[in-house]
A and B are shown apart, each in its own frame.
Chain A
């Protein structure tokens, strides 16, 4: 099954060092923007107790979960040691300022 790239808005829609969410049938996706304008997407659930990662403080290329401060790597979704766990990541890219999110076809349809 191929994925589809879906336009979810412009990079300006997300504050720098912040995130916005995108609701999908599989659950909310958090789309983050770093200080250097890289964009990452993870399902908006912390591997610890499901905290909304989109509401955490973004620093470097990680986000600190707002509930218990686990630090999640935005690139991989993995929690920083000593914590263990992984938030599911989604492919995302920016093209001419537009953010394109890759969703499994079944979800996008």
Chain B
């Protein structure tokens, strides 16, 4: 057949979009049938096909444009492809089967492929069109960023997703000061859970980037060129360039205008056919079974199905994809795949290796992996992803799954117990303290150790970060056989960890852990975000360890502390204003009475702690009730908190005929010093003016009984379920000493008791002698304790009611509303 004839019977295939999908589709078609079509490719960009993914390394200076070209001009020529680059298609005439380009070129087609990709989403904020605002999608964007980095100093990247972080990384390598603004509290929240997001944020901050999470852009500032970004909270961040990387939207303009069926993307069936069988679509611009994809892996699969359809090969077609992602930032390994949001019927296997900065979480349902998040060590990402896609049953390797492929598939090592048994005596078990297996087993058998704690104190193994705890326990059970009970003497804090309360407190200080996710990472928490038992405890421990530094975590507080009021059985709240030392005034009483009337408060009761309790306040009314009480000079009584509650007093020498000292005045002084302090549990103080003890000081956590010669100090009393009278700590001569001993005792309790342990069981557990030794005998230690207490009080003595009334978190009191369409 003559060449012209052959050409004639070739059908015309026109591809709109010279990007990753368009060219891949052509490659797949050529692979199947190189002679079937005469192919024309339109590209809006004035260049050959390149690897868009590699724009990130290009920006970072790790690649040059030549390195990222996929198909050079020779490829188009060799395959007889007409490339029309830099001339976008503007119209499709489906009836005439032609496309028209911006320059007016009209090309006929038998089959048309739309591969128009996506457009970056630009936030509709004022200033978004200013010069200096760029998106991150193509070579021109990269050029704009490179130019800006040569002259400007500061860059703001809006969007802390994959793309935004890669842009930020590139710009900071180019020497810019980069601030990332991210709306959500977690970076890359679509790919990462809170724990991994926290690690990533910390790592980026360590590299000098500023990461603002939970930050919403309000406007882009500048006259003729961007000068900065203003957030909704009023902060202004100066910028010479602003990169918008807040998302993409399938580019469906052409398809829509041509009357093809379009949802979020161009609708296609399993063979990538659109609603017009002569038109196919592929890549990011399509919507397949309600899903639009933003990664390349799915489009490879789509292109195969499309090529089968175009060359009339029988095929199953495209069935949708499960995707995985990796962040391309050198030195930061982040991987995620599938659904890692977890759920009731799912199990999480979490591994946190603080020493190596590794976090791995595999989510399993019905013995199959449905999601995985890896941070720090992504080596096994591909393996997990393969198991996920195959829906493989992992029961056989479940125990060692989280340690990765090499370990889990290592034959006999599938059982971690056997793996430990097989280790040689000089294999290192505890990395922190450099303890090898032989040292541990020898200590166990020679010194008759039977518990983990004993092994810890003798060998130091697992005494630091604790990540080798399971191995040490296995060695105990391997060495002792049935003699090992497996029980730890002191039980762990909760089921989320192997550490005891005391371990956790010690390690928070030793390792300078300053946030809940940091503790969970460093101490290998077994759950992604803890439980209702460990979170409040951690929040308290951090607050106590780092006054002024640690940012309180509201969601880790029991409702009473979160709303600064007591929840009652019907879901309403009770409100107790502070009455210093039990004193009040006509003005305060009048304000209370007015509040009672104004808010129809059903019950008003005088409490055992000498205050007035207002019952039955609705949650929405709380801020208004507080505002009125604040206006009369009253502050929160913390009657709801694991905190200092009341200081009960009697009238003492001022009125009582027996009074030896001014017990009321002293009570007021003490309450002024101690209010607002958070404690392991509720804490009560009382001051009685003489041994008749009308303020019942001997059943309080700290009780003062005034006598002629001074003050008796009592500790560890409790009037609760199990009544306990106080122990006498000591006697002091002056009010100043009372204040110092009181502050020191409180601080010792705050620093050493376990969360939810009141002073009574604490004193019994550690012994009165110990407390005397710390508070009475060690004058310097006492002064230091008191100083630490006063230091922390400087941050905590602000009225929570007032800050709530001032608007912080006020919205949390209001219900959401039904804004029906």
**Residues of A that sit less than 8 Å from B by CB:** 4, 6-9, 12-18, 20-24, 28, 31, 34-38, 49-52, 55-62, 64, 66-67, 69, 71, 73-76, 101, 103, 108
Contact = CB atoms under 8 A, between A and B. Distances in A.
Contacts of B345: 75
B815 A61 contact: no
B556 interface: yes
Contacts of B570: 50
Given A12-B183, A13-B811, A36-B194, A55 B559 contact: yes
B569 A49 contact: yes
B528 A17 contact: no
Given A35-B529, A36-B193, 4 more contacts: A6-B818, A15-B554, A36-B528, A66-B559
A16 B555 contact: yes
B801 interface: no
Contacts of B216: 12
B256 to A, nearest CB: 19
A51 B571 contact: yes
A73 B555 CA distance: 18
B139 to A, nearest CB: 29
A56 B820 CA distance: 27
B558 to A, nearest CB: 7
Contact of A108 (B529, B556, B558, B820): B820
Residue with the greatest number of chain B CB neighbours at <10 A, chosen from A6, A14, A22, A57? A57
Nearest to B528: A35
B569 A37 contact: no
Interface in B771-814: 811-812
Nearest to A74: B344
B559 A76 contact: no
B555 A36 contact: no
B222 interface: no
A16 B185 contact: yes
Given A9-B816, A108-B818, A37 B341 contact: yes
B470 interface: no
Contacts of B556: 17, 57
B456 to A, nearest CB: 29
A22 B817 contact: yes
A17 B530 CA distance: 11
B555 A17 contact: yes
Nearest to A21: B815
B119 to A, nearest CB: 16
A67 B569 contact: yes
A7 B821 contact: yes
A51 B567 CA distance: 9
Interface stretch (B14-22, B298-306, B531-539, B606-614): B531-539
B820 A60 contact: no
Given A35-B193, A57-B532, A108-B820, A75 B344 contact: yes
Nearest to A75: B344
Contacts of A23: 815, 817-818
A93 B773 CA distance: 59
Nearest to A7: B819
Contacts of B340: 36
Nearest to B346: A61
Contacts of B194: 16, 35-36
B187 to A, nearest CB: 13
Contact of A60 (B342, B560, B819): B342
A61 B365 CA distance: 14
B315 to A, nearest CB: 33
B99 interface: no
A62 B559 CA distance: 15
A61 B363 CA distance: 13
Contacts of A4: 820
Interface string B563-592: 100010111000000000000000000000
B343 interface: yes
16 contacts: A14-B816, A16-B194, A23-B818, A31-B816, A36-B194, A37-B341, A51-B571, A56-B559, A57-B532, A57-B536, A57-B559, A58-B555, A59-B529, A60-B527, A60-B531, A108-B818
B812 A20 contact: yes
Residue with the greatest number of chain A CB neighbours at <10 A, chosen from B189, B560, B820? B820
A28 B816 CA distance: 10
Interface in B173-188: 183-186
B325 to A, nearest CB: 16
Contacts of B342: 34, 36, 38, 60-61
B341 A59 contact: no
